[in-house]
Amino acid sequence: MSYYDKNISGNNSIDALYYVADDINNVYDNYEGGVNQKNAAHLVELISALAIVDFVNNINNRLTPTIHKEFGINDLSNGINDIILSDFAKGTENIMRDSLMRMFFFIKYNRNCREKQYEHQPWAIDRKLDKAFFSGNFYRNIEMFQNDFFAWLGELSSNNRKLTMFELGDNCDLFESVKDYKPKKKFLEKKNYALIDSVLNKQEQKGTTKEQLYMNLFYSAMKEVVSQKF
C-alpha cells in the first residue's frame, strides 16, 4: 500500500483508487491458468466490476486529488456470510436490482415457458419467431449465455461468503423468487408466466431482423414486468 501511496495516488497520477478485498480466505487447488482453473464466482469479482461501473459513471468528472474508495455492506442482519441484494447500500442496489431482475425473469421464461407458448402467442406469431428461429445459432447462443448466467448465480450463492439474490429452483412463485423483495399484487391480475405473455403481446414491433425483433421485444417487456411487480 505504501507503494501506491507514494508512486500512484500520492502524486495524483490517477483519478481514483478502489480498494477491493475480503477477509474470508477460500482454499482452491492451484493451476496456472487453463481449463483446470475453475474457481467459483465470488462476491469480490462482482464488487470489482461495480468499481468499473462507478468509475465510468464519473469519468467526465476529473478527480483531483486522487479519490480513494472502499466498498462496504450496508446491512448484515442476515449474517456476515449470507448476503442478499438489499444488504447493499441503495446506490449499489439500484445499479444492480432492476437489470438483474430483468435478466432473471427473461431466462426463467425462456427455460420454463417459451417452448410451450411461442407457437400460440401473438408475440411470436406476429414476428414470425418460429421453430427455425428458436433452433438456430442465434438462439442457441442465447441459451448458452443463459446457462452461464444461472451457473454464475449458483456459484455466488454457494461460495464461502454467499451472495444469494434469487431462488434458483422452480418450487416457488416466479415473482416471489427474488430474495427479500415482495412483489406488488393487483386484484385479478395474471400470474407468473401468464403475466409475462400478456406483457409480451402488448409490445410494439421494433427492428427489421428477427434477432432485433426478439431482443427489443424481451428488453421492453421485461422492463415493464419488473416495473409492474416491483
pLDDT digits (tens, 9 = 90+) for 97-110: 999 999 999 999 99
Q: Is residue 160 part of a domain?
A: yes
The answer on 191 and 154 residing in a single domain is yes
The answer on 143 and 88 residing in a single domain is yes
Q: Is residue 120 part of a domain?
A: yes
* pTM of the predicted structure, to 2 decimals: 0.86
Total domains in the chain come to 2
Digit-coded pLDDT (tens) for 211-221: 999 999 999 99
The set of residues, in sequence order, having a beta carbon less than 8 Å from that of 203 and lying 6+ positions away, is 123, 217, 220, 221, 224
What is the predicted pLDDT for the residue at 215? Answer: 97
How many CB atoms neighbour CB 98 within 10 A? 15
Q: Is residue 77 part of a domain?
A: no
> Where in the sequence is the domain holding 162, given as residue range(s)?
83-229
The answer on 62 and 40 residing in a single domain is yes
The answer on 65 and 168 residing in a single domain is no
Q: Is residue 76 part of a domain?
A: no
Nearest CA among 192, 163, 156 for reference residue 180:
163
Q: How far is CA 19 from the centre of its chain?
A: 23
The answer on 92 and 67 residing in a single domain is no
Nearest CA among 163, 174, 225 for reference residue 200:
225
The answer on 219 and 199 residing in a single domain is yes
